[in-house]
Amino acid sequence: MRIKFSKYQGTGNDFIMLDNMDNAFDSLSIEHVKFLCDRKFGVGADGLIKLSSSMELDFELEYYNSDGTQSFCGNGGRCSVAFANQLKISGTNTKFTAIDGAHEATIVNGIISVGMLPVERIEVANGDYILDTGSPHYIKLVESQNELDILKFGRKIRYSEQFKDAGINVNLMLVKGPDEIQVSTYERGVENETLSCGTGVTACALAYKFLMQQKAGTKITIHTKGGVLSVSSNSFVENKGFENIWLSGPAKHVFDGIIEI
């Protein structure tokens, strides 16, 4: 199979993008996904995304982690909006569907914002936070960057009895100042630390707002190893949930290529 692809990254979270509007890659297997994402033998990426046609919206996003498992990916969603705009599938305002449902998105001055689905519940467990922002996340608040090793701690939680079957993403969150946090993430499916995770920074921003009991509106700035993102939302604290959530940041085209598999 001859595959024409584009490579995109959103704050260091990188993806192989496939134009599947004519169903050319419907037969792509999980083994193909694993090979293409392999950084030594394939193209190399945290995940692979197929953009397909949608009956009701501008396009359908099908996201695969590098191990072939599927979920929603916030940075992948933002990169997909940039890719769809490059392909002229959609403009600066778009709607798409993904594994978790329908999303809106905008492009303004190079910043791509994706509307995330409402989060109805934040679970507090031994001072840590568990919530789902399209993918499940475990968040631990730390007091310094060096308090815990994200790889060791991430694997400990991800492969614990509670989470080993379904898996969970694990985040360390450091409060840097008012409405400003730093986040590192261990991603299930990649089974490693990634430079940035869109659903992860969203989860951490909401956990921060929950911790600070912010009831509406405030934009949270999030620093990752790959760059800076922001999350805004309106909350309904009495129900321990959030709505009108937007993840914003840059998404960059890296290169195009062709590979035979």
The reply to whether domains 2-116+251-260 and 123-242 share a CATH topology is yes
Q: Which of 37, 73, 79, 204 is catalytic?
A: 73
**Interval 235-252: pLDDT, tens:** 765 556 788 999 999 999
CATH 2.40.40.20 fits 123-242, yes or no: no
Give the pLDDT of residue 234.
Answer: 80
pTM for this prediction: 0.95
CA atoms within 13 A on the CB side of 247: 30
For domain 2-116+251-260, the CATH superfamily is Diaminopimelate Epimerase; Chain A, domain 1 (3.10.310.10)
Q: What are the DSSP E strand ranges found in the chain?
A: 2-10, 13-19, 47-52, 59-65, 93-98, 101-108, 111-116, 123-125, 128-132, 136-142, 169-177, 180-187, 192-194, 220-224, 227-236, 241-250, 252-260
| Residue of 37, 79, 197, 204 marked catalytic | 197
Whole-number pLDDT of residue 145 = 86
The rounded Cα 260 to chain-centroid distance in angstroms is: 28
Query: Is 37 one of the annotated active-site residues of the chain?
Result: no
Note the pLDDT of residue 213: 81
Collect the ranges in the chain with pLDDT lower than 70.
Answer: 215-217, 236-240
Sequence spans of domains, the chain: 2-116+251-260, 123-242
